Amino acid sequence: MAGKRTFTMIKPDAFGAGNSGAILKMIEEAGFKIVALKATQLTAELAGKFYEVHKERPFYADLCKYMSSGPIIAAILEKDNAVEDFRKLIGATDPSKAEDGTIRKIFAKSIEANAVHGSDSDENAAIEGNFYFSQFERVL
Ligand code: RTP
Ligand code: MG
């Protein structure tokens, strides 16, 4: 059965542009409950750890630099079929390929500065949520 939780980050481009509130509003209006939330900033080292699965990819160094370049918002979201439905809501990685009405289509600046992150599996959603939040920092 598909899981009920996913993990997201509002990336430095969207945070810096003052779009965090509008993005969280879209997320809630799409039926997701915010069950953990914080503003924070990654060091390059922590970004490297978070994106370790991509360490062989050509964009890895740039991505770590970018993700540690400014504040972000991290959140755990709850909804039936959360991972898949959230990836539909955010749209394709490359905003020029994202469907109209998706968060990336509306807010992303480029394939790297693409406004939001969304977990790609139930397993990674749990790992990523645990990376940022203790048991006391989330709704049980
Ligand atoms: P995310 O993990 O952030 O939700 O994005 P995604 O699944 O749609 O894309 P993924 O392949 O996991 O890539 C992670 C992030 O790396 C940056 N990226 N840059 N320059 C490039 O060609 C490139 N490709 C990916 C993006 O910030 C992407 O979201
Ligand atoms: Mg990904």
Catalytically annotated residues: 117
pLDDT, average across residues 124-129: 98
Task: Enumerate domains of the chain plus CATH numbers.
Answer: 5-40+70-131 (3.30.70.141)
CA–CA distance, 27 with 103 (Å, rounded to integer): 9
At residue 33, the 3 state secondary structure works out as strand
CA–CA distance, 109 with 19 (Å, rounded to integer): 12
Any ligand 1 atom below 6 A from CB of 109: no
Using the mean position of ligand 2's atoms as its centre, give its distance from the Cα of residue 54 in Å. 9
* pLDDT digits 0-9 by tens, 1-39: 688 999 999 999 999 999 999 999 999 999 999 999 999
Give the residue ranges of the annotated binding site for ATP: 11, 59, 87, 93, 104, 114
Helix (H) or strand (E) holding 36: strand 33-40
Among all chains, which residue has been given the structure tokens 């809630």?
28
pLDDT at 1: 60
- Bridge partner residues of 10 (DSSP): 73, 116
pLDDT, average across residues 62-67: 98
* pLDDT digits 0-9 by tens, 72-105: 999 999 999 999 999 999 999 999 999 999 999 9
Answering whether pTM is above 0.95, one says yes
CA–CA distance, 118 with 89 (Å, rounded to integer): 9
Any ligand 1 atom below 6 A from CB of 53: no
- How far is C-alpha 24 from the chain's CA centre? 11
Cα separations (Å) of 58 from 37, 63, 123? Answer: 31, 10, 25
